[in-house]
Every structure is written in structure tokens, then in C-alpha cells.
Structure 1
Amino acid sequence: MTQDWTVQRVPAADGAEIVLHSIGAGPGVVVVHGGGVTIAMYRRLALRLADRFTVHLYNRRGRADAAARAEPYDGEQDIDDLATLLTWTGARNVIGHSSGGFIALQGAARRLPIGRLALYDPAVQVDGIGPTTGWLPAAREAAAAGDIPRAMALTSAGINTHAAATRLPLFLQIAICRLFLRTSIGRTMGELLPTTLDESQLIHRHDGPPEQWAGVEAEVLLACGAAGPPYYRPINEALAAVMPHARSLIVPRAGHDALNRAPQHLVDALADFFTAPVTSEPAGP
């Protein structure tokens, strides 16, 4: 049966509007998307979950149909918007991807009413595990100068430390990025690159011991792709060791973009997690 998307305009805490795109039937799931992209990359995931859940997508501030983002960026609007949507939809299930995982985890730590939180490759720094910050100043300088191919090449090499392309000379990485920027997704990522750099800086500022997340009471699934950046596995294991209701999962045949590609084995793992009995109570508002 074909399902249609519904679009609602939800008043945010600061008076702006959050444009909420929803599809499906069943328990609600709010998706907090990653950096450098819009919800367009998550529609396949939503469609494949829609026979079991009502899936809610929304663009975070400064993207597509979202309101402008406050500057300097500190992530607070993102957390406030997630709180607003949990109240509006009544959903208690959340999926967070990459930097969206960082936002969702911060929301859970602040006791937003989240019962189950599925994080895929959450961009969280734990005891220095993860990409270093050495590339950020040069990437920011290039972006400020309008040299987006160079800024993108530096960013990709700094984050995707496992990729073969990072071992190429920088001029070749820049050439590859220049070609990528001609694609639809490349143009979007290029336009949003300053946002990606801001989020990367914020995530690095929150580096610290995993115990800072020990107060998260939600049921948490910490998933990472077997073919993605290698630092997500030890990060997830460290987080799972201190959260009272968390477990880690390595998804076979999956890279960092697996949540966007939505292979059936990942979709089924998410569905199983969201339908399993909950052993903890959702946090209060």
C-alpha cells in the first residue's frame, strides 16, 4: 500500500517553525540527521520503517526548509528543537546519525523524554578517541576563502581516516572533491560545509571521559558499520560500558552512510530494538 508524507509546521521554542515530514503508522520515531546533509538522505530509511512505525524527519537549523541557525553555533537550538518535536509528536523513539547522534545523546543526557535511542556512528569524542582536530583550522581557512574543494578534501581526510583516498596527495583529493561538488549531494555538502566544521568543533570541545554520559537512562543501541571509520567501535564500547541500559552493535557490510542506504539487515535491527521490551522508564521533560 502506498503511503503519503504529511507535512506539519511546528512552533519552536524560539518562535521559529520546524517543518516536520512524517510517514507511516505505529509508534513514533524521530530521526536526527547527520551533518552536511538534509533529510533527503533519510527518506529511504523512513520508507523502509514506515510499515511498522510513524517516522518523523526534520531538517536541522540552517538547512533546506529549516529556520536559520543562531550564531555562534552551540548546539542548543538543535536540542531545543528535538525536545519540541518529542512533545509535539509524542514519540519516545529517536534515531541519531553522526553529528545528529551527538545532538540526540546530549538530549538524552538532559533527560528529554526518550525511551529508546538508536545511535549509528555517533560523532562523540571519548578520551581522545576519534579524529584529531589538526585539520580544522586549515579547513576553516579554506572555507572562509571560498575554496570549498580544498576545505572539503581536508575535512574528508580528517574525518574518514580509514578511506584509501586520504593517502593520495592533497591535490588529487582536491580534484576528486571538485568532481564530487558537481553532483547533487556534493553541492549540498559543499553548501553546508561551514555547518559541518562548526559541528566538528563543538564535538571536539565535548571530548572527555565516557562517564560524562553515564546519566543517560534511556535504552540505547550504539551501532557502527563494520566498513566505516574504525574509531566508532571503541567509542561505542566505552559508552556502552557506562550507560546503564546500553549495548553496542557492529553492523556487517555497512559504512558510515549505511543509515542513508538503509539495507534490510540494518532496518530490521533498528525495528527489533524499538519493539523490544523496555527495561527503563523514559526520562521526564
Structure 2
Amino acid sequence: MLTVISKDGTQIAYEKIGSGPAIIVVAAAAADHNDATPLAQQLAQSFTVYNYDRRGRGNSTDNSSTYTVDREIEDIEALIHVIGETPSLFGSSAGAVLALEAADKLDNRIAKLALYEPPFIINDGRAPVPADYIQNLNKLVHDGNRSDAVEYFMTAAIGVPAEFLDYMKADPSWGNMEGMAHTLAYDGLIMGDTQSGKPLPTDRWHVHVPTLVMTGENSEPFIQSAAKALVELLPHGEYRALPGQDHSAVMMAPDVLAGAITEFIQP
């Protein structure tokens, strides 16, 4: 993998594949660049894809003693400097919210923004994330209970029923998520209070680039409601539901997702 040094000295590792206009792929919570590789390969048919490990994951380091969302935006900014042109951004789940935050701060350095299922909770469609979620995560990781931290993330943030956890733990991906357990609180900080069941703040994002907010047609109603609410806040936002898809589309239907992204960025 290639590397670039972010503002605070953190080494950000990334893969560069394909040719065409540049697009940066921002991974979801508990994921590194490997999880987005199938999508990156599909996008590489039309774009030069920069698929990176967010700080603290995979081959990227994390030099900050205290995490802030701004540090992750600086990581994206470092990639933009390497690219040398104005890229588009794609982010999924919590990575979609990070991409949104980056577009807010780097508005004139982003061409277009494509988001898949930002996991806002803006109504009573599902239980809100606990107010002490980040503190609980940090304590579990600090005490060495990484598997418990992933379990807490899955149940409290994702909403996975407890009876599914044993099946999930038997999959090798669980061990990978344990390795990234310390970064789960990072995504909690990115989400802020947008998973509290309250309407989205009207003054948090000032994004003026064309933005596509996508959901899966089969995803839960609260996800679809949140995506539509976000579009209403963006001056150049549009909403699209992908037929037959759900929250797993990045890994399970990368061709479908890549097709929608390509159609939006290169109409």
C-alpha cells in the first residue's frame, strides 16, 4: 500500500487503482480498506479510486493522544493533496457521516459527494443509541474487553438482535472487528447526537456540492427517513433508493452501488 503523512504525523495507508476522475472511499465503522475493496474494484472501471485505511485501522497509524473528528478530516485532506485534483467522496454508514463532515470543512476541494445509509436516528423508528455509549465503549476497550466492545457496538448502535451474536462471532470478520474496537468510539464521536431520536440539526452542515444520499430499498424505514431528511437540508442533495438492497450493499452488491455512484458522478 501507498502512504501519506497527515497533519499530526499519522501515517495513512491507501490503495490506488483504476483510471479516470478521482474518488476517495471512506470506510464504515469497524471496517478497513479491505471491506470496501470489492466496491473499489467496481468503481475502478470508471475512476481512479483511493481506498484508504482510516486512522487506527489496518496499515494506518494514529499519532493523536486524543481523537477529534478534525483529525480524520485532515487525513482526507492529506489524500486530496496527494491526488492533486478535486476528488469526489463516497462514504458508507458512519463513514458517510465522516464524508459529509469532510465536505462541510473542505467544500471547495470536493467535486461531488455520494453517501450510503448514514445511520442517523431522527424519530422513534428504532431505539436511540445510549447517551453514555462512547464512555461504555472506551471502558470496555480500556479494560481489554475488545470482543465485548464489538458486541456492544452491534447491539446498541447497529441494533443487531442478541440471538444473532453467537453466529456472528463464529465468522472470521469478528476477529478483524476486535482489532479495530478502539476506533468504534471514533465513529460514535462522528455521529455525535444524531442517533438520539431527535431531528437532524439544521445548521450543522453547509455542504454546497452535489450530493447523492442513497439507501437500500429493503433497509429499515428509520434509515430511509433519515436519508430523506438529510437531503432536505442540502441545497444540492438528491435521494435514491437502490432496488433490492439493504445496509450490506457495500459488500454484498458492490456492482449495484458502483453503478449508482458512477451514474451520479459521471451522468
**Pairwise CA distance, 1:40:** 0.5
- What SS does the corresponding residue of 1:211 show, helix, strand or coil? coil
**Pairwise CA distance, 1:131:** 5.3
Gaps of 5+ in 1: 1-6, 277-285
2:214 corresponds, among 223, 230, 246, to: 223
**C-alpha contact 1:21 1:57 (8 A) present in aligned 2:** yes
The share of aligned pairs that are identical, in percent, is 23
**Pairwise CA distance, 1:53:** 0.8
Letter aligned with residue 240 of structure 2 = L
Structure 1 or 2, whichever has the larger Rg, is 1
**C-alpha contact 1:214 1:244 (8 A) present in aligned 2:** no
Distance 1:242 1:43, change over 3 A: same
Whether 2:184 is the aligned partner of 1:189: answer: no
Distance 1:67 1:150, change over 3 A: closer
**Pairwise CA distance, 1:190:** 1.4
- What SS does the corresponding residue of 1:82 show, helix, strand or coil? helix
* Cross-structure match for 2:20: 26
Distance of 2:138 and 2:15 partners within structure 1? 32
**Per-residue displacement from partner, 1:79-101 (whole Å, max 9, x unpaired)?**
01111212321242110111211
* Cross-structure match for 2:81: 87
**Per-residue displacement from partner, 1:182-234 (whole Å, max 9, x unpaired)?**
x1x21111121231133224413466634224521010000112233432211
Whether 2:55 is the aligned partner of 1:61: answer: yes
- What SS does the corresponding residue of 2:23 show, helix, strand or coil? strand
* Cross-structure match for 1:155: 153
Distance 1:127 1:228, change over 3 A: closer
* Cross-structure match for 2:110: 114
- What SS does the corresponding residue of 2:31 show, helix, strand or coil? coil
Q: TM-score, normalised by structure 2?
A: 0.86
**Pairwise CA distance, 1:262:** 3.7
* Cross-structure match for 1:283: none
* Cross-structure match for 2:236: 245
**C-alpha contact 2:122 2:226 (8 A) present in aligned 1:** yes
- What SS does the corresponding residue of 2:28 show, helix, strand or coil? coil
Distance 1:130 1:101, change over 3 A: farther
Distance 1:125 1:74, change over 3 A: farther
**C-alpha contact 1:59 1:66 (8 A) present in aligned 2:** yes
Letter aligned with residue 222 of structure 1 = V
Q: Which moved more, 1:79-88 or 1:126-135?
A: 126-135
